[in-house]
Amino acid sequence: MNILKIIKFPSNILRKKSKKVNKNINKKIILDIKNKLFNTMYYNKGIGLSAIQVNIDLNIIVYDVNNIKNFMINSEIIYKNENIYSYEGCLSIPNIYYEVKRYKNIIVKYEDIDRNINILKIENNNLLSSCIQHEIDHTNGILFIDYLSNIKKFLINKKIKKNNKHY
């Protein structure tokens, strides 16, 4: 079982926009990344993971929300509506949880392992919709804490610095 190291905030790696996965990349390499991402996500008790979180600079995400699991290449949200608030955490920012604004209904365009274009429509599944938005944000160098007020960001940075002194 291959478990990869999760990059932790405030690493600049998390701020990189992930590279689009080229059609020429060998399918075996993509399958290996897929398996490592799922293994790492499950090992760390997450529901989603982006490749950039394990220092793989490719636009790839995985998720497993209430047994709805998927692997997406070059994913992008092409439609969103109806605001909701989602209580979120992140494997790259351990022990930090806040409510952030997301969208209840989304349509995502992505490629599967065979590089076929797929359209996924999520309606009225707040956790799944929020998880996918969270992971796609990672591919764009955006963290859930970026949606918070400056005072909350200040408190998070203070808490992280305090926690880092204990290690």
Residue 82: active-site member: no
- If one counts every other C-beta atom within 10 angstroms of the C-beta of residue 111, the result is 20
- Binding-site residues for Fe cation sit at 90, 134, 138
**Coil, strand or helix at 47:** coil
pLDDT, averaged in runs of 10, over the chain (167 residues): 94 98 96 98 99 99 98 99 97 96 98 98 96 99 97 91 69
What are the extents of the domains in the chain?
12-165
Annotated binding site: 90, 134, 138
The CA distance from 139 to 48, in Å, is 12
pTM, two decimal places: 0.95
Site of tokens 């952030």 = 100
> Bridge partners of 103?
83
- Residues 76, 99, 111, 135: which is the catalytic one? 135
- What pLDDT does residue 161 have? 83
Q: Does the 12-165 domain belong in CATH 3.90.45.10?
A: yes
